[in-house]
Amino acid sequence: MLITKTYHDVPSNLSNERPIRIFVISPVVPGYPQARFPGVVCFSEIYQVTGPVERFAGQIASHGYVVACPSSFHEFEGPEPIPYDAEGRTDRGNTYKIEKTVEAYDEDATLTIDLLTSLPNCNGRIAATGMCLGGHLAFRAAFDARVLSSVCFFATDIHCATLGRGKKDDSLERVRKGDMTRKGELVMIFGKQDTHVPRLGRDLIRTTLEDANVPCSFLEVQAQHAFIRDESSKGRWDAALTRSLFTFMLEVFERTVGRDLGPRIDEKKKPEHVC
């Protein structure tokens, strides 16, 4: 499908009243101006909405989804991409990541979902995805009952609970408390050579999700961190693997938000079939 791009500046309560810019990429079907599509929140890595993130979101949109990309660090600077260099990584991206509060990250997600559901070309069925920092934010977005599925690429800081100010988030603790149980479907994707999330960390995430009965697919592939980034990846980009996992993600989105399945029935209360 063809796509169009725009943005919305949305007021924020927890970010020094600095608005958050949310970039929106929408599919267009010529001759059908009232067409409505599912929505996807696409959370970026620590560099905000860069070229690779926009291209990733654009590909999703071209398959028939209204995609919203929030600028994660609007408290500290404008919505422009942060460079993929040492200054951008250390002095800006990674610094902002632990200066921003977890509550402000959650507000950004809520505002982005609110925006999507208010758009005339969105039908209100919402999924989420993201990479690196954005993978963790897509994970937390799954606490919102409106999010019917989340696909998280190499999500950082979940296993060690170090997201946000004070480097102390409650993501896994909330899973243990049942905040993600009986909600949307989750997909966790990690590279086995990813030094940001070691094997023990991946095992902790998987075990916590399974113990909480969260419907989750857990994929570990032969790849490093940032393997889907097609620019400044330091030799880590795997185009073939990215294409394969992108197709996997689209299957999840098509099944969970691509069509209206009606109300969900609790598996434990499902009527027995009579032979």
Has 132 been annotated as catalytic?
yes
Tell me which residue of 176, 177, 178 sits closest to 204, measured CA to CA: 176
Structure tokens at 28: 């267009």
**Active-site hit among 144, 157, 169, 194:** 194
Q: Give Cβ neighbours of residue 116 (< 8 Å, ≥ 6 apart).
A: 39, 41, 66, 68, 122, 124, 126
- Contact predicate 8/49, CB 8 Å: no
Has 194 been annotated as catalytic?
yes
CA 73 from centre of chain: 15
Instruction: Return the HEC string of 36-98.
Output: CEEEEEEECCCCCCCHHHHHHHHHHHHCCCEEEEECCCCCCCCCCCCCCCHHHHHHHHHHHHH
Query: Could you tell me where the beta strands, DSSP code E, fall in 212-274?
Result: 216-221
**Active-site hit among 132, 136, 152, 216:** 132
Tell me which residue of 143, 145, 125, 127 sits closest to 261, measured CA to CA: 125
Has 196 been annotated as catalytic?
no
Which amino acids are annotated catalytic? Answer: 132, 194, 225
